[in-house]
């Protein structure tokens, strides 16, 4: 058995995986572009991707500590309760349509949980 007989099939398999990887990344990028355009659709003229963010601000922010138990893969609670710091932020994004000039606001909420102590 010579080197080419072993190396050539291995090279074909690597090339196949490379093509699958590039196609997957390409489709993921196109899907994200489509979702972004859908999220910025003007509610008045219904043009996709027409909204430009004119301002973004944090409307509300609060932080508190609560008790939480970790969960197993089956969903049942395991271990003893631990303290968790919860930070909640509410954002407001102001948009303006490139085509009709309509202005609208979208709000979003973000929750972050971090363990406290050991």
78 and 102 fall within a common domain? yes
Residues 79, 35 share a domain: no
Of the candidates 109, 25, 106, the residue with the CA atom closest to the CA atom of residue 60: 109
- Count of domains in the chain? 2
Structural domain includes residue 101: yes
74 falls within a domain: yes
CA–CA gap between residue 58 and residue 82 (Å, rounded): 29
Read off the pLDDT of residues 34-92 as tens digits, 9 standing for 90 and up: 999 998 999 999 999 899 999 999 999 999 888 877 665 666 666 677 888 999 999 99
pLDDT of residue 25: 97
pLDDT in tens, 88-108: 999 999 999 999 999 999 999
Question: Quick one: 88 and 116 in the same domain?
Answer: yes
7 and 59 housed in the same domain: no
Question: Based on the domain organization, do 62 and 89 belong to the same domain?
Answer: yes
pLDDT the model gives residue 73? 61
């Amino acid at each position: 058995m010579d080197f080419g007989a072993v190396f050539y099939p291995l090279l074909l398999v690597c090339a196949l995986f490379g093509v699958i990887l590039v196609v997957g990344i390409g489709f993921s990028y196109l899907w994200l572009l489509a979702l972004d355009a859908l999220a910025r659709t003007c509610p008045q003229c219904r043009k996709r991707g027409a909204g430009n963010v004119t301002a973004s601000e944090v409307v509300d922010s609060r932080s508190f500590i609560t008790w939480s138990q970790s969960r197993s893969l089956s969903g049942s609670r395991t271990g003893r309760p631990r303290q968790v710091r919860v930070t909640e932020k509410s954002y407001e994004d102001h948009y303006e349509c490139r085509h009709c000039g309509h202005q609208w606001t979208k709000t979003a909420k973000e929750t972050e949980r971090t363990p406290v102590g050991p």
